[in-house]
Structure 1
Amino acid sequence: LNTTALLRLASAIAPRLAAAGEGAIINIGSVVGLAPEFGMTVYGATKAFVLFLSQGLSLELAPKGVYVQAVLPATTRTEIWGHVGADVNTLSNVMEVDDLVDAALVGFDRRELVTIPPLPDAGQWDALQAARQAMLPNYRNEHPAERYRTVA
């Protein structure tokens, strides 16, 4: 559901928005998709997919006038907790849905590509992106890096 539904919906709307030359797609992921340390492997992998798909769609659709935003909330007070047999009231640091939506809309208005409502320092996300992008030129090398060609 976390990947198939998202992909089908994006596939259905993206060409229409691109043809119109305007529009927006908002995808809801999770900070869990950034942190395998949280121990929710499969769920986290699906949320990592949401981020990757959103970033890729943004690269493809922004030149055509379509804005794509990925929102990565942390623990949020929703009915899903009851469906999985957990009492959200026993959890700490739970964001209220209204606060999440308000933050997501501020990010939308700012045209953030990735909005992480609980992250106090946007510079941390910027640093992560800069480090990731700095590695890009090295992915096209013909030979293994020197560190793999010498015996330690």
Structure 2
Amino acid sequence: MAKVKIPENKVQELKDLCAKFNNEPGELINVLHGAQGMFGYLPAEIQEIVAEEMNVSVAHVYGVVTFYSFFSMLPKGKHPISICMGTACYVRGAEKVLDEFKRHLDVKVGETTPDGKFSLSCLRCVGACGLAPVVTIGERVYGRVSPEDVKGILGEY
């Protein structure tokens, strides 16, 4: 994977973010949330800077980033699509909805379309089980989605 070049002013912003949390190792998750907000994702280069500033190992930072599904090491699309795979959604056909998104976008779960417009992911539960199956695109929630709805939903973007 190609190295990500982080502009010097952004490196300083990241260091300032760590300092805002007093470089306390116990504040790592808060720092990572802030860093992902700044950059949109957490590539290895950002994790290395955070590890150095917070005085923890890169392995520890990587472990936190990979443990929590909120964090991403890959850039997300302008319109991140998440398909709920919680029990209610799964039983009501979420897998078929996911397959239809994969087919229309020609990407796998975890990937972003070449134009950077959409990224595709799955999550465990949106908390809208009565609307199963549920799809979110950015902050927007779509309920009772069927595979036939996918083309129309994508057409909105």
Which TM-score applies when normalising by structure 1?
Answer: 0.28
The structure with the greater share of residues assigned to helix is 1
